[in-house]
Structure 1
Amino acid sequence: MMVGEMTSPPTGLPPRRTTDTALAAVRSVTGSVPAAVTVTAVVVTRGRSPYLEATLAAVRGQSLAPHSVVVVDVDTAPSTSGHRGLSLDGARYVAASHSRSFGDAVNAAVAGLSAAGDALTPDWLWLLHDDSAPAPGALAALLRSVEHTSTVAVAGCKQRKWELDDDGTPHDPAGPDRGVLLQVGYTVSPTGRRMSGLDETEIDQGQHDSREDVLAVGLAGALVRTSVWRDLDGTDAEYGPFGDSLEFCRRVRLAGHRVTVVPTAVVRHAQQSLADPSHRSRMRRARLRFQLVAASPWALGLTMLAIVAGAPFLAAYRLAVKQPTAARDELMAPLWMLLGLSSVLRARRRTARTSTEPYRVLRPLLGTWRQTFRELRERRLARADARHTGPDDLDRADLHRIATRRRAVLALVMVVATGLAAAVFGPVLGMLAAGGRLVGGALLPASSDAGQVWTAATSGWVRSGLGEAAPGDPLLLTLTALSLLTGDSLQTAVNALFVAALPLAALGGWAVAGAVTRSVWVRAVAALAWTAAPPLLGALSGGLVGALVVHLALPWVALALVRSVGAQRIDLPARSSVDAVNDRPVLNGAFVEEGRGRRLGAAGAAGLTLAVAVSGAPVLLPIAVVVLAAAAFAAPARRGHLAPAILPSLVMCAPLLIHMVRTGDAGLLVADPLVLPGTLPAGDAAGWQALLGQTGLQDPWFGGLSPDMALGPYLLGGLLCAVALVALAGPRAAGARVGWILAVCGLAVVVLADGGSGSLGARGLDALGLDGGALDGRGSGTALTSVVLLGLGGAALCTTRAVRARRAARTVAVAGVVVPLVIGLVSAAGLASWYVAEPLSDDGVHATALPAVPAVGQQMQAAPRQTRVLQLGSGDDGAVEYALLRGDGTQLADASVAASARGQVTGTTEAGTDGPAAHETGAGSPATAARDAVDDVAVRLAGGSDPDVAERLAALGIGAVQVPTPDVSDDAADGSGRAVGNAELTASLDMVPGVERVTQGQPVTLWRVRTEQNPTPGWARIEDGRSVTLVASGGPSVHVDVAAGDAGRRVVLAESADPRWSATLDGHRLEPVEVATAGATLQAFELGPDGGRLDIGYHAPHRTGWLLALGLVGAVFVLLALPVRGRRSR
């Protein structure tokens, strides 16, 4: 039946005349109301399409066929009519490669009809995409809905999903399907987001067939009045494939027409435009444009402001739900708005020209905030239902049994580790809770708050000694975060880190082992072995904060990387698959399989945890690059998640890397962070020792009770090495190879860092233009040994692939039980030996409540004076040892590998020598002059008779001098002679003019520096040639109001001069000068006679840019790592 057969009441004309002449006759008789209507179907395609032939067949198969069919090809490929196997059957073909949108293609079809000389213009246009096949009665239902009304200008179809066969062939549009609904008309939320009122996989059961008047319908399958299409000039081409239907239907409504949906007219839509990788960006642009075009005139400015202000928050939300591309689009939205503003204004003017109704006519059809929230909630619940498939009772029992066993064994592991930690640190917990601290070995006092640690990490100025321009250690950034988590105290953070290290190591070992094996007992052994690892025990006893952080972070790095590529193993109930008995491995009665949960959140967590590990040992950065590249080849999927994981580490270490390149000092990478020179032994582990899990020559177990105990420390590493070698020939050799690559990289760096200037590693670095001799004695041997053990342990765990049911050889089964048992026993023996050796001792880390500087000295060091305290002492060889103290002892936050490389932190001078000690680096620089000045002052104080020494101390900002109180019993105990030397220093200081003793009978004897010209030395002072005035300061900066004074005044800082110091007075820049005093070159500024607000600070180059990059990268990865379930695309 042709369209012309659908008529108004009888008019006397033959009922079946469907020619153009007959239609013209009908119109001449009936006037403006036609007795018959004509429909032209317009099918828009893009070149060769697998759906076009089926779509044309569906159009030809209509129970009420259209008058004509036009196929519009918007591609530049050969014409559609020339495609093999495609029969247009008289359908007109129009090439429209210039079309930018669906609307442009329809306009080309309408123009083609006129150009072809059609006698009559069709009354209706039936618009179809090449991937939208109508059901046989779709056109008839559409025409019935508009037959007796002249107000409807657009009638849309109910859209269902067009499904495909397994081979990609589209289903027969006339055949049965699941009936998944895509659209039954739609509206928009107050923010311009489309609201269809449907769940993502809702099945059509007629529940929405009562809909009629709607705000908009999809144009695929829509019937549009030709006159209205022409009056409105079609759709807005700027929308592209998304949002054009909404914009057009909105203008139709404002022009005084109706938009309806006809649920009985069904079209199956494949939505191929969503297959475009850029479809999300284009959808976001379309929604942004609609927001601006649809906003009322008085709300347009507020809408634009909301788009700009809301962009970062929307981007953060998109990152949290693991949609980084959408986050980028949200950040680009303000730019798109500005670039497209002129086009938006043109669209608003076009809408205003064709509008005959006010905006309020749309209000009943728009979605409300309540409807928006209800739809979001319903979609969230629907997604939750789709994720959770309800297991039957047997499966639920299996899962419950597996979880119960896993939790019980984990609880046992944590109880053992916590008990060991309580046995080691329990006796000192009371002292630590009362304000005591852990010090000793390489661990320095940490009496700083989080703000001071952050300043030390990011300012680019190291405050030890008289200060020096050098990057802070990246580990300070990690300690800043820990300080914030522990009450804004670095000392509390350090104490908590050491006390909780053993349980945290056990938890990390358990977690990372679970990514490789689901055997709870193998995971327990792995947790015990990682807790008993010699690098961890050595870091705890030796006070190596960096090595400790590395050992605790590495398991989480490995776990996150494995999860990011979907290679982790997961538990499954035994009845999860019919094929489980034959095809799946069995372990502990439950079946397991390789996980495929490729989560972007795991990649974010990997980046953060890797940055923490690299901060503890920057040498891990090149190792991480190599291992990530190797892991990308072994990853089953999502290899792209591995590359971004290195970005936070690169940004965190950027200042140190730049400094290393500028100085050519390769030792900066391998040096232990926050460790003073001379604290550690001169050498690290040799390659064979690191391969066996040791950081150097170890004492025998249990004090050498028997000769065999000498081999005890090497048993754990030897066993892991042997099992890891076996794994290379096993079924999971790919994972074992990655583990070996990690271990070999760690060994290679150990070899490079071992030895002096003539070593193999030094010669190789010299060939690259770096200072290879600087490696001697500075290698992060403890942290690198943790890397080696992680690689060997991961490879060894790859041998634990579950034995298939009833197929395992007896030898393999026995080995699977014996080897973990032996490793567990060896680990337990190592822990017992370490505990018996008293890990907390005066020679290593120990707890103390005694201050390193008496209270009066700490009062001088506090703001606003901030004077330094010079500590003198006698060494074992009679030399005078000194250190400039800024707090309660040499501070952890003031240690820097870059500054230590220049010999800044400490100095040693023989008492009675003629001049200062020589320094190898930085000769002639202000920092070198400052160190030489402190050397000279120490020598003069040891002499005890220099009348100018007090003035020199005051000029350098030193307000007090202290010496440990002599104790003859110490000499009797160790035979060092330190007490005798300290007694001689005490006698000498009592004779120095301008230095007066203020304490005695305490562990430390302190003298105050007081001179006639400068009775209260301080960090900042104003000098006018006659007097000295103290300037209040806080940290390495000054922010204070100063009064007017004489001309020629200067502000002098007790810091070595550097061109990056700056000062302003009421915003006006002060001229920097260098002041030579007491043999040092100090920073100063010309103040002049004026008063006002004085601001002084140090500004490192590129600090602002680095902090912005650090904050941006950190925020992105934190949002990605948040445990928020990602949203699935439809």
Structure 2
Amino acid sequence: MPAAVHAVLVARSSPDAAPALERTLAAIRSQRRPVDALTVVVCGPLEPLRDLVSSSGAEGIVEASAATTFAAAVGYALRRVTPGAAVWLLAHDSTPDAGALAALTAALERGPSIAIAAPKLVDERDAERIVSLGQSMTRFGRSVELADGEFDQGQYDGLDDVLGADVRGVLVRGDIAADLAPDPALLGADEGLDMGVRAHLAGRRVALVPRARIAVPPPHRTRMADDYRERLAQLHRRLAYAPAWAVVLHWLSFLPLALWKTVVQLIAKAPAFVPAEWAAAVVAMVRVGAVARSRRRIRRIRSRSWASVEALRVTRADLRERHDPHHAPRVRSELRFFSGGGAWAVLAAGLVSVVAFLALLSWPGVAGGALLPLQRTVSGLWSEAAYGRREVGLHVVSAADPFAGVTALLGSLWPGSPSFALLVLWLLALPLAVLGAWFAATRVTPRAGVRVVMALLWAFAPSFLSALVDPRPASVIAHLLLPWLLFAGAAAHRSWGAAGSASLLLAAVLACAPSLAPALVVVWAIALVLTFVRRPRAIARVVWTVVPAVVLSLPVVLAQVGRGTPWALLADPGRPWAAPAIAAEERWRVALGFPTPDPGGWGAFLTGFGLPASTWWVPLLLAPVVLAALIAPLTRRWRMGTAMVVLAALGLVSAVAVVSLQPAWVQSTPVAVWPGSALSLGWLGLVAAAAIALDVGLARRGLRAAVAVVALVGVCAAAVPALTAVHRGQSELRSGGDTTLPAYVSAQAAIVDDLATLVLSPQADGGLAASLVWGPSETLGGQSTLQSTQPAVSDDDVRVAEMSTDLVSGAAGDIAGRLADEGIAFVLLAADGEDAHPARALRLAATTAIDQRGGLVRVGETPRGVLWSVDAERSPRAPLSADDQATARAIALAQLIAVAVALLLAVPTPISHRAARRKPRVIGAGFEEAR
């Protein structure tokens, strides 16, 4: 005689539950093999469902709280089940076919060893699509659906014995139903899988019954909550299934495993899993009682070894075959860097660079302008990038500028002589600019010729050439990074890999050019709004792009805001250099694209040939690029065209705005923010918009070629004075070494740590500038905008000024002792080539006064000035306090974590590479961007 069937129906009380429950109850009543009893468990208020369950013919109605899990609800109902009756587990939205129960009971009758008969779950909206048909798990306990989301073509109907199944709709044999009740500790995840594992350990089987079909709603995932439940269930099952001796080992491994999984998930471009991973690890470790109860359940029923389970696990080969992505459609075309002319453009730019900077091939290094040497060791480079003592000033302890990290990375590329990396950078600047712009052009056009045109236009940008000729290393690096930022940032909404790369590039660009922060924040805010409207699932990627930049700059931001100088955050990093300023009434001319008073150097160029220095016509050479850019918003790719024009406008407006700011000081001269970096941003928008216009705005091939040639000729003509400036002696770039101090000081500083040199520089107005340099040289990474922009004279500055004044004025007192007490070992009276009479007079008077001082031994004349040694016992430099050390560790840890996460996200993987191939390379050119 067939066993009785007791159906347990778990209903969730909600506004939309009544229609689903009504369909399920109707389906239960229409079964060809009717149920013998029905128990309904209502989780939540009973009132909305009272009429339905009262008329259902249920033998009992159990009311539970809304937070009750499916397993707990089944546990309540099992108390009412007649012993020996098979239990059919259903949810209120599970609608069985008329023959489902008959097929399930027939399977139990034919197979006495079967403990659980599992139906085929199909999508209620499309009955031909499988939602679930059997479950298994990997060696480490990860649950795997054997059939999920596929069209039902009978391909899995031959499956019989499986490890487990989705708990909805399963029929459990009566004699074992109480022992196989779902485990409440799993919180609704992997309940059917766990039931199947226990059934196999009891010597029974789980059989699939594909003829029994139950319609269920398609899975609706809440990413964070579902990830947490699934991971918690996996960790809980790991503790419940482990041998007794291994439980503690597993428990101890959860936190290290969470750290390892964090790294893996970041590399896999899935950072959304990280919070769930840590939450699940912590909760699994504290639920000792739940683990003990689950282990008792297994001990009570177990009669077989774990070998009965191992045979049904999914292997790595099975997973690889199941998730094979090789047959996914490929959308992305070949890059064609070589065949499309990109490599030839880079080579041509390299030849131009060698010709323009031929003298650099014989120089040991570069100097002049805002250039300074780098630290001599890699460890010294990175120490400058950390919070701590600065290498200029008396007792300055502060946060490092983010630019120090950029210079440390640059110098680390040539560890034997880090300063030589600057010379290499200058020689490779033009080809590197072409390379970066060519890749950026792949985001706006598929045409090889247009890509080359955009790359050359970018390399010969007036602001870039000006930064090379009158050397400004921060602006040069920013110009080289901007096209890569466009390349990665334009696709940041597509993938975590692009978002990670864009975040690092944005941090580096803002470190080199803080004046770009307002414009780039506006761009980021616009991207955030558009992403929220069009692709809200990608919002986290766009948000992440600013996180590393915020973390790296936050110490300096807090320091500047705390002392009331927020505008100083826009000051150029590195060495403050007071270049020839643009007159107030002429600052509007910056918007024409040239960052110096003499546009493109044409005034000096024409004067050198004895021609009138009239330069009003020079900006007209850039007009073809501007006109082509204005066409871009009128093309069919108006979205991207408009975005690039907006970017150009933001750059030009920023350039005009920042040129009026003078937040920094060098000696007694105010230093304005250089507008060249903002002009580079504007030029990037212009050349990208022009590339779009050439791609889709000009239909006729001949017209497109003509416009491209005219634009290139104009920009190259504007670049002639800058490219010949080094040969004509019109450049601030000159040969340099690895130190700004005399060789004797440099040699002593290499032997003895923390030697300080007091540098005295007579000024043209008869004043005296004093600065303090620690170590063998003043360095580029050792500069600090917190010092160059400080609004008031500090106590340390007062002491340095007093010592310097007493030193050169002949005042009485033990000046040498005071110098030694501050750690100063040398005094240098700089020879800076100042020809003004007051400066010469002061230098002679100072030389005489210092020579007559006791305790100061004249070392001699050097190319950098007159040098004296302090003949007194020097006090050691004060170490960092405990609070400063703690602050340094906290800042370093936060910054390392932010950079490490960004690097892990940016590292490409085979999966991310294949995913990228399924999307077009050009942004905004297809349906993928329009939806």
The reply to whether TM is greater than 0.5 is yes
Match of 2:241 among 285, 291, 294: 294
Match of 2:696 among 802, 816, 834: 802
**Which segments of 5 or more consecutive residues in structure 2 lack a partner in the other structure?**
916-931
Q: Partner residue of 1:637?
A: 535
Cα distance, 1:743–1:1005 mapped onto 2, change above 3 Å: closer
Instruction: Describe the superposition over 1:990-1009 as per-residue Cα deviations: whole angstroms up to 9, x where unpaired.
Output: 55444334456x63566552
Kept in 1: contact 2:197–2:309 (CA 8 A) = no
Q: Partner residue of 2:923?
A: none
Separation of aligned partners in 2, 1:87 and 1:429:
93
Displacement of 1:776 in angstroms is: 6.0
Separation of aligned partners in 2, 1:817 and 1:630:
34
Superposition pairs of residues 425-464 of structure 1, within 5 angstroms: 425-429=357-361, 431=363, 436-464=364-392
Kept in 2: contact 1:728–1:736 (CA 8 A) = yes
Separation of aligned partners in 2, 1:494 and 1:1019:
35
* CA radius of gyration, larger in: 1
Separation of aligned partners in 2, 1:228 and 1:783:
75
Separation of aligned partners in 2, 1:620 and 1:605:
19
Cα distance, 1:285–1:780 mapped onto 2, change above 3 Å: farther
Separation of aligned partners in 1, 2:99 and 2:547:
58
Q: Partner residue of 1:220?
A: 168
Alignment partner of 1:787 is 2:681: yes
Cα distance, 1:82–1:718 mapped onto 2, change above 3 Å: farther
Cα distance, 1:930–1:468 mapped onto 2, change above 3 Å: farther
Kept in 2: contact 1:64–1:137 (CA 8 A) = yes
Q: What one-letter code is carried by the residue in structure 2 that aligns with 1:189?
A: T
Superposition pairs of residues 850-869 of structure 1, within 5 angstroms: 852-869=740-757
Alignment partner of 1:958 is 2:824: yes
Instruction: Describe the superposition over 1:3-25 as per-residue Cα deviations: whole angstroms up to 9, x where unpaired.
Output: xxxxxxxxxxxxxxxxxxxxxxx
Instruction: Describe the superposition over 1:3-52 as per-residue Cα deviations: whole angstroms up to 9, x where unpaired.
Output: xxxxxxxxxxxxxxxxxxxxxxxxxxxxxxxx232223444444536766
Alignment partner of 1:697 is 2:606: no
Cα distance, 1:898–1:87 mapped onto 2, change above 3 Å: same
Kept in 2: contact 1:618–1:653 (CA 8 A) = no
SS in 2 for 1:829: helix
Alignment partner of 1:894 is 2:760: no
Q: Partner residue of 1:608?
A: 504
Match of 1:1106 among 881, 891, 897: 891
Q: Partner residue of 2:229?
A: 282
- The TM-score, its normalising length taken from structure 1, stands at 0.71
Separation of aligned partners in 2, 1:139 and 1:1018:
94
Q: What one-letter code is carried by the residue in structure 1 that aligns with 2:410?
A: L
Q: Partner residue of 1:996?
A: 857
Q: What one-letter code is carried by the residue in structure 2 that aligns with 1:955?
A: D
SS in 2 for 1:230: coil
SS in 2 for 1:615: helix
Match of 1:383 among 303, 315, 325: 325
Q: Partner residue of 2:925?
A: none
Displacement of 1:617 in angstroms is: 1.8
Alignment partner of 1:821 is 2:709: yes
Alignment partner of 1:424 is 2:290: no
The alignment yields a C-alpha RMSD, in angstroms, of 4.1
Displacement of 1:470 in angstroms is: 3.5
Superposition pairs of residues 115-264 of structure 1, within 5 angstroms: 123-130=85-92, 132=94, 138-147=100-109, 150-157=112-119, 159=120, 162-163=122-123, 169-171=125-127, 177=128, 182-186=132-136, 188-195=137-144, 201=150, 209=158, 211-212=160-161, 214-231=162-179, 234-254=181-201, 256-264=202-210
Kept in 1: contact 2:760–2:804 (CA 8 A) = no
Percent identical across equivalent pairs? 25
Separation of aligned partners in 1, 2:898 and 2:498:
16
Superposition pairs of residues 734-773 of structure 1, within 5 angstroms: 734-755=639-660
Instruction: Describe the superposition over 1:337-375 as per-residue Cα deviations: whole angstroms up to 9, x where unpaired.
Output: 2443333233334444x2353xx6123312699x64323
Alignment partner of 1:363 is 2:307: yes
Q: What one-letter code is carried by the residue in structure 2 that aligns with 1:106?
A: V
Separation of aligned partners in 2, 1:708 and 1:263:
92
Separation of aligned partners in 1, 2:111 and 2:753:
90
Displacement of 1:614 in angstroms is: 0.6
Kept in 2: contact 1:684–1:777 (CA 8 A) = no
Cα distance, 1:92–1:553 mapped onto 2, change above 3 Å: farther
Instruction: Describe the superposition over 1:258-301 as per-residue Cα deviations: whole angstroms up to 9, x where unpaired.
Output: 13213554435646444344322221121122112222221111
Kept in 1: contact 2:164–2:193 (CA 8 A) = yes
Higher relative contact order (CA closer than 8 Å, sequence separation 6+): 2
Superposition pairs of residues 645-794 of structure 1, within 5 angstroms: 645-676=545-576, 678=578, 681=581, 687-698=587-598, 699-700=601-602, 703-704=605-606, 710-711=615-616, 713-715=618-620, 717-755=622-660, 777-794=671-688
Q: What one-letter code is carried by the residue in structure 1 that aligns with 2:451?
A: R
Cα distance, 1:508–1:605 mapped onto 2, change above 3 Å: same
Instruction: Describe the superposition over 1:434-455 as per-residue Cα deviations: whole angstroms up to 9, x where unpaired.
Output: xx22111111122343332332
Displacement of 1:870 in angstroms is: 3.6
Separation of aligned partners in 1, 2:577 and 2:220:
61
SS in 2 for 1:37: coil
Kept in 1: contact 2:38–2:58 (CA 8 A) = yes
- The TM-score, its normalising length taken from structure 2, stands at 0.85
Kept in 1: contact 2:133–2:148 (CA 8 A) = no
Q: Partner residue of 1:491?
A: 419
**Which segments of 5 or more consecutive residues in structure 1 lack a partner in the other structure?**
1-34, 115-119, 172-176, 566-597, 763-769, 903-919, 1021-1052, 1063-1096
SS in 2 for 1:898: helix
Separation of aligned partners in 1, 2:46 and 2:475:
63
Separation of aligned partners in 1, 2:7 and 2:266:
43
Q: What one-letter code is carried by the residue in structure 2 that aligns with 1:956?
A: E
Q: What one-letter code is carried by the residue in structure 1 that aligns with 2:905?
A: L
Q: Partner residue of 1:622?
A: 518
Q: Partner residue of 1:528?
A: 456
Separation of aligned partners in 1, 2:47 and 2:642:
51
Separation of aligned partners in 2, 1:95 and 1:801:
69
Separation of aligned partners in 2, 1:437 and 1:336:
58
Instruction: Describe the superposition over 1:874-909 as per-residue Cα deviations: whole angstroms up to 9, x where unpaired.
Output: 55566555543434442212211211124xxxxxxx
Separation of aligned partners in 1, 2:245 and 2:584:
72
Cα distance, 1:275–1:891 mapped onto 2, change above 3 Å: closer
Kept in 2: contact 1:937–1:953 (CA 8 A) = no
Q: Partner residue of 2:924?
A: none
Q: What one-letter code is carried by the residue in structure 1 that aligns with 2:317?
A: R
Separation of aligned partners in 1, 2:670 and 2:864:
35
Instruction: Describe the superposition over 1:833-881 as per-residue Cα deviations: whole angstroms up to 9, x where unpaired.
Output: 3222227958512233485444432232235343223445555566555
Displacement of 1:628 in angstroms is: 1.6
Instruction: Describe the superposition over 1:738-788 as per-residue Cα deviations: whole angstroms up to 9, x where unpaired.
Output: 44444444444444444479xxxx9xxxxxxx99xx996421312122122
Separation of aligned partners in 1, 2:725 and 2:855:
48
SS in 1 for 2:74: helix
Q: What one-letter code is carried by the residue in structure 2 that aligns with 1:693?
A: G
Separation of aligned partners in 2, 1:646 and 1:1005:
46
Superposition pairs of residues 577-616 of structure 1, within 5 angstroms: 598-616=494-512
Displacement of 1:464 in angstroms is: 0.7
Higher helix share: 2
SS in 2 for 1:862: helix
Separation of aligned partners in 2, 1:550 and 1:531:
13
Displacement of 1:803 in angstroms is: 5.7
Separation of aligned partners in 1, 2:222 and 2:546:
30
